[in-house]
Amino acid sequence: MKKDITSRKDIELLVNEFYKKVKDDELIGFIFTDVAKVNWEKHLAVMYDFFENMLFYTGPYTGNPMELHKHVNKLYPLTEVHFKRWNQLFGKTVDELFKGETANLVKTRALSISAVMQMKIADESSSSDKIF
């Protein structure tokens, strides 16, 4: 029987399993490996902190994920398809590993953050295309 997400150890399991899927994914894996050239050891540690803070308000996360995603978007334009795939992989990973209120919460918050990032990146991209 699956349990809910209750600790940093659970978050580490979720993040590790999720990013295994991401790295192998034909649609978005290259964005992480070839475009952003992610330092996985550093990235995973930041993601543990981010999700711990998101769920339990205890993680030591500091950073600006919006600026990082804007930077990646300049290197390779991120589309709705990329965000949708990220969300699919994330939700699938959560559902494979956990069940409960916090598991549902992490999926809801991830979708919300993804939607805001996608909107802001689209706004920035469209405003940079305008000629004044």
Task: Give the three-class secondary structure for 3.
Answer: strand
Q: With bands split at pLDDT 50, 70 and 90, how would you rate the model's confidence at 129?
A: low
Q: Quick one: pLDDT at residue 17?
A: 98
Record the tokens describing residue 121, joined without a space: 């990146």
Distance between CA 71 and CA 49 in Å, rounded?
Answer: 21
| pLDDT digits 0-9 by tens, 86-119 | 999 999 999 999 999 999 999 999 999 999 999 9
Count CB atoms within 10 A of the CB of residue 62: 9
Q: Quick one: pLDDT at residue 130?
A: 46
Q: Quick one: pLDDT at residue 125?
A: 73
- Look at residue 65 and tell me whether its pLDDT is greater than 50: yes
Q: What is the mean pLDDT of residues 19-41?
A: 97
Report domain extents, the chain: 8-127
How far, in Å, are 59, 69, 117, 131 from residue 104 at the CA level?
19, 24, 20, 43
- Look at residue 131 and tell me whether its pLDDT is greater than 90: no
What's the CATH architecture for 8-127? Orthogonal Bundle (1.10)
The pTM for the full model equals 0.92
Q: With bands split at pLDDT 50, 70 and 90, how would you rate the model's confidence at 132?
A: very low
